[in-house]
Amino acid sequence: MIKKERIVEKFLEYVQIDSETKNEKLFANKIKLELEELGLDVYIDKAGDKVGSNTGNIIAKLKGNKDIEPILFSAHMDTVTPGICIKPVIKDGVIYSDGNTILGADDKAGIAAIIEAVRILKEENIDHGNIEIVFSVYEEGGLYGSKNLEYNKIESKRAFVLDSGGSPGEIIIKGPAQDNLVAKIVGIPAHAGVCPEEGISAIQVAASAIAKMNLLRIDEETTANIGIIEGGKATNIVCPEVTIEGESRSLVNEKLDKQTAHMVKCIEEACEEFGTKAEIDTCRSYSAFNVDENDEVVNIVRNACSILGFEVTTKASGGGSDTNVLNGNGIKAVNLGVGMKKAHTLEEYISIEDLVNTSKLVLEIIKNA
């Protein structure tokens, strides 16, 4: 049986260990030690060297005593900013930060739930098959840890990622692909007060391009956004250069291709109109995934929820996660709700009930696998 006081204590301890993206080493060392004390074989891969983090992904294995296919549980160790000196506060059964930082339930709630379930397995001598655990680095901002995971060390073909904001019982079976776009628009500088007609304002070109773009919610499966605009020297100089950065996402690859092409075309047409040019780079950050409603990996979660009395919902997500990358590497994966709310904000919180129930679900998945 999941021990409420212990999982809360561990979660509070975890969120107070700084682990902003690319600086996960201190937290990784803590988790590695705990897993080793529980009898798992633990390996830290070389992903950190490739992506600029100060540690790699944790790959841990617990040998089972049942001859069944292995299963994988995954969560990420990094947090977004501001995540330094987090001070958790409990109020009316809910855990918040003190309001000066994020809380870090994204995704330390998933890590706490997985480790507590493993503790119960060991303490109660529950029969199970081989279990693999991946705690990734640099998930936020690009899924770079999972993209560089040493997959030759993973045996599982079924995975459960604990990194969604829904309550335990929510199963994410679809996730979008994402394209990133960076465009450097080159103008011509001139004195803005003396001879502005001799210049071409890169800001004006960028504004024209963005104004023509279909952005934000495109349809129920597709979104797009321009998130960063940088450029300009001074108010008395016609702007010589602007960089814009954006993204597009869709559950359907063809729609994503169309949306990205549309954004590129808007930039090219604006440059042609003003008589200038742009350097445009687009890349596919990660691919979409779509797990069948009746796939075995979904039914395992559904059966576990039924035993626990949790309501089950399956849905698509507009966000990317390590689930996308695992599916792209031949591991059938779904993303599970852990109860984190308002992630990436100073108002982030999680209820103790959801934290405990997530660990219950992990344990029941192991039993039902």
**At which of 235, 258, 286 does a domain end?**
286
Are residues 185 and 279 part of one domain?
yes
Are residues 248 and 102 part of one domain?
no
Are residues 124 and 33 part of one domain?
yes
Are residues 359 and 333 part of one domain?
yes
pLDDT more than 90, % of the chain: 99
Type of residue numbered 196: P
DSSP state of 200: B
pTM exceeding 0.95 = no
Type of residue numbered 20: E
Are residues 62 and 135 part of one domain?
yes
Provide the domain count of the chain.
2
State the Cα–Cα distance between residues 272 and 84, nearest whole angstrom: 46
Catalytically annotated residue among 78, 106, 107, 247: 78
- Tell me the CATH number at 145: 3.40.630.10
116 is catalytic: no
Are residues 305 and 204 part of one domain?
no
**At which of 286, 320, 349 does a domain end?**
286
Are residues 301 and 233 part of one domain?
no
State the Cα–Cα distance between residues 85 and 222, nearest whole angstrom: 37
What is the average per-residue pLDDT within 292-304?
98
**At which of 268, 286, 304 does a domain end?**
286
Per-residue pLDDT at 141: 87
User: How confident is the model over 105-115, as pLDDT tens digits?
Assistant: 999 999 999 99
127 is catalytic: no
Are residues 302 and 258 part of one domain?
no
176 has a pLDDT exceeding 90:
yes
Domain extent for 125: 4-175+288-368
For 181-204, b/e burial (b = at least 16 CB within 10 A) is bebbbebbbbeeeeeeeebbbbbb
Per-residue pLDDT at 289: 96
Catalytically annotated residue among 20, 139, 140, 348: 139
Are residues 195 and 167 part of one domain?
no
Are residues 114 and 24 part of one domain?
yes
State the Cα–Cα distance between residues 230 and 263, nearest whole angstrom: 18
Q: Across the chain, what does the average pLDDT equal? A: 97
- Tell me the CATH number at 274: 3.30.70.360
Per-residue pLDDT at 231: 97
Are residues 141 and 124 part of one domain?
yes
Per-residue pLDDT at 299: 98
User: How confident is the model over 14-65, as pLDDT tens digits?
Assistant: 999 999 999 999 999 999 999 999 999 999 999 999 999 999 999 999 999 9
Are residues 168 and 182 part of one domain?
no
